[in-house]
Structure 1
Amino acid sequence: MQQVEPLTETKPPRIVWSQTEERLAIHIITSSATRCHFYPRHLILTSIVSPCTKYILQFYNDIDHQPLKLCTKHDQWQMIFLLKEQKTHWPRLFKEEENESLIDIVYDRDYQSDLEEEEEATADDDELIDFDKVLSSHGNKTGLEM
C-alpha cells in the first residue's frame, strides 16, 4: 500500500524588485508551481497546488506603454522584465492590504551585473512571451496601456 504524503503548505511568494537606470527586473520566487496572470494594472499569482490561494500585486499608474515580457526558467521561478522607455517613470509596486504580510518584496538597487548577465542569457526572444502581441491579438489595448 502506497503512502500518500500530505500536501505541504505553500509559502507566500518572495518578490525581488531589482532595477538599474535602464532596466527593471521582477523576480518572483515561489515554493510551488505558480500561475502568473498579467493585466494592465496588476498581476495575479495563483498557486497550482491550491488554486484558492491568490496574491494580487498592483502597479501604480506610472506605467506608460511599457513592453512586458515574461521568462519562465522553472516551475518555481519566474522573472518579469520591464524595459524603460524615454520620458517614462519606473513603475512602482504596491500590495493589496489583505496580502500586506503575505508577500515579501525586496528592493534591490545594486543589481547591475546580475541583470546584464540575465539579459545576455535571455537574448533569444523565442523564449520570451510578448504580452503586447498577445493582448493586441485579442482586441485589447497594448500590454500596459492605461
Structure 2
Amino acid sequence: MTAPIEARWSHVGLNCTDQRRTEEFYTRWFGFRRARVVEADGVRVVFLRRGDVYLELFATDAAALLPPANDGPANPGAARHLAFQVADVDAFLAQADGQLPVSLGPLSFDAFIPGWKTVWVTDPDGMVVEVSQGYTDQSEEELARYA
C-alpha cells in the first residue's frame, strides 16, 4: 500500500442568503475574521478564517433543500453539521443569552466520554452547528477492538 498524498484541511463552502448576517454569526460566536473577499462576474465570495480553518461564504437566493432539525440532516451527500469545541457549553449558552436558536440539547454523553456535552444551534441559513465540550479520542488499544 502506498502512502497517501499529503493533504491538509482547507475550507467549507457555505451558501447563505445574507453574507453579512452569516459573517457576523461566525465572527461573533466562533471567533472567525474576514480573510479575503473575491468579486468576479457578479459573484462575491467572502472567506472567513480562524486559525487554519476557513469558511467560504457564497450568496444565494435559492431556497433551502432541507429544514434545520436536531443535529442536522441525515441525507447522503449533505453536511450533517459544522462543529466547534468550547471549554464549557453552559458558559457558551449563557453568553449567547437566548440569541442562538437551539435545535437540540444540550445533551450529556458521559456514558461514552466522561465530560462530553453538546448543544446544536443553527446559523442564519439553518446550517446546524454543533458546540461541544470534553471530546477526547480513544486510545490505540480501545480502537484496536474495532479493527
TM above 0.5: no
Larger radius of gyration: 2
TM-score where L is the length of structure 1: 0.23
Q: Does 1 or 2 have the higher relative contact order (CA < 8 Å, sep 6+)? A: 1
